[in-house]
Amino acid sequence: MSTPLPTSQDASAEAFKGASSGLLQILEAAKNNKSFPQYLAIEGPIGVGKTTLAKKLAELLNYPLLLEPVTENPFLDRFYAEGTNQALPTQLFFLLQRAKQVQDMPGNDLLDRALVTDFMIEKDDIFATLTLDPAELDLYRQIHDSLELAPPRPDLVIYLQAPARILRQRVFRRGIDFEQSINIDYLEALADSYAGFFHYYDDAPVLIVNAAEIDFANNEDHFNALLKHILQMEGTRQFFNPNPTLL
C-alpha cells in the first residue's frame, strides 16, 4: 500500500535539517516547475540501503512512498534457509504482490504522479533468472506475461551499488533473523546480476551511486550531496561516486 506523507513545507524542513535554506528553496522551486523527478525508483541488491534512502526522500519531498513487501513473503525465510527448493514460490509471491502494487502507482498520463519506491517491477526477472531452474523460469515468465503488467516509467532510477562484503555487513547489522543465513556467494551473484541488468537498461534515466561508503541515513552531508547531484543531473545516465571524506 502507498503511504501518504505530510504535505506542509514545515515537514520538509524538519526532514532536511542539514540543508541550507538556499538548497531547500532550489528544491522546492524544482518540484513546483516539475524539473525535479516526480517518480523516483530506488534499486540495488539486498542490504545496499534502498529502503532507507526511499524513506528519506519521500519524507523530504512529501511524496507518497511505496515499499516492496519483503517481510510479508511467507516463503522468504525458507528460501534463505533451503535455497533453490523454495525459489519458485518465493518469486511468485513477490510477482503477484508487486502486480497489485503496480495498480496503486500513478499512471504516465497523470500530471501529478509523485511517488518514491524502493523497487522496480523489472527487478523480479533479475531474481528469477538467478534462482530458478530453466523449467521454473519458463513457468514464471508465462505467469508474468499473463498478468500484462504496465508499470509507469520512473522519471529517475537511483541504482545503489556496493561490494558483496559491504552488503553482508549491512545485512548482518540490521538483524533480520531470516536474512542472517544469506551467504556472500549469493550476494556476489546478485550484485553482478544487478550490474548486468543496469548495463543495458535504458527505459528511464539512471543515476548510479557508489553506496559503499555513503551513509544517507545518518550523514546529512552525504544526503545533501546526492540531492544537489539530482538537481544538476543532465542526460540519461550519470555516476555519483564522491569521496566521503570530502563531503
10 is a domain residue:
no
The pLDDT score that the predictor gives to residue 84 is 85
Global pTM value = 0.87
Question: In CATH, what number is assigned to the domain containing residue 53?
Answer: 3.40.50.300
Domain count, the chain: 1
Kindly report, residue by residue over 77-127, the tens digit of the pLDDT.
Answer: 899 888 888 999 999 999 999 888 888 787 655 556 789 999 998 889 999
Instruction: Give how far Cα 135 sits from Cα of 31, 78, 138, Å.
Output: 46, 21, 5
pLDDT in the model for residue 219 = 87
Helix (H, G, I), strand (E, B) or coil at 106: coil
Residues carrying an active site annotation = 118
What size, in residues, is the chain?
A: 247
Place of cell 503511504: 3
Query: What whole-number distance in Å separates Cα of residue 188 and Cα of residue 168?
Result: 10
Q: What is the pLDDT of residue 19?
A: 53
Contact by Cβ (8 Å): 236, 206: yes
Task: Give the structural domain span for 156.
Answer: 38-246
pLDDT for the residue numbered 13 = 40
- Residue 233, CA atoms < 13 Å, CB-side half-sphere: 26
9 domain residue, yes or no: no
* Residue 57 C-beta-side C-alpha neighbours within 13 Å: 31
